[in-house]
Amino acid sequence: MTAGSAPDAGVPRRWKPVSSWPVPVSPVSSGEPAPGPFAVVVLAGDLARPARLSVRDLYAWPQHRARVSFECATSGVQHHYFEGPLLHDVLYAAGPGFDPARRKDRLRFLIAVTGADGHHAVLSWGETDPDFGRAPVLLATRIDDTPLDRAGPQLVLPQDRCGARHISAITAIHVDGHYTSLT
Ligand SMILES: Nc1nc2c(c(=O)[nH]1)N[C@H]1C(S)=C(S)[C@@H](COP(=O)(O)O)O[C@H]1N2
Ligand SMILES: [Mo]
């Protein structure tokens, strides 16, 4: 199969308001070391409920699947099968600081994703939003049926031709709605 052709990989789940969201988000506990050998992702920035999530915490959301092919400038074409929640679902549950009733208000938000080795990339909120770009971006909990509990989750953009945004061993996701405009 090609990128995004898995049955549920193409369209994000229906939008749900935060108030009825069934998934509890772990509260932030500052200064607490990572629990044992399990990787933890920090969700921070303009969020009502910043959080530290293990890969197991990410199993609480609906798991989507995607078979992905991408090209790497150095290692050529790679094929992988990923499973995990939609990045959008996880971040929306953390309470991004926009007015959900005003669609325009979401469009000033950035999502900065950082890996353990410092590799990082910025996405826009509008890119993943069901009302705008609807990109089925995953926060993968498994790669090729191997759990990522210890390595940490991986960013998956099934629509990308190049692999550079498939950030592995994610340690932090920063949501930013307050960057300074270039005027
Ligand atoms: N954390 C991290 N993730 C990363 C990278 C990296 O350097 N660090 N490289 C990216 C690139 S350039 C590609 S093509 C894919 C696949 O890289 P791999 O062959 O090293 O797995 O991972 C991406 N994710
Ligand atoms: Mo690459």
Over its length of 183 residues, how does the chain's per-residue pLDDT go in tens digits? 344 444 343 333 443 333 334 444 555 544 444 456 899 999 999 999 999 999 999 999 999 999 999 999 999 999 999 999 999 999 999 999 999 999 999 999 999 999 999 999 999 999 999 999 999 999 999 999 999 999 999 999 999 999 999 999 999 999 999 876 655
- Tell me the C-alpha to C-alpha distance, in Å, between residue 4 and each of 14, 15, 83, 119, 156: 18, 20, 12, 24, 11
Half-sphere exposure of 65 (CA within 13 A, CB side): 10
Distance CA(76)–CA(72), nearest Å, equals: 5
Give the closest ligand to the alpha carbon of residue 166. Answer: 1
- 166 CB within 6 A, ligand 1: yes
Nearest alpha carbon, ligand 1 atom 4: 167
- 167 CB within 6 A, ligand 1: yes
The domain 37-176: what is its CATH number?
3.90.420.10
Greatest pairwise CA separation for the chain in angstroms? 48
Distance CA(26)–CA(142), nearest Å, equals: 21
- 117 CB within 6 A, ligand 1: yes
**What is the pTM assigned to this prediction?**
0.83
- 168 CB within 6 A, ligand 1: yes
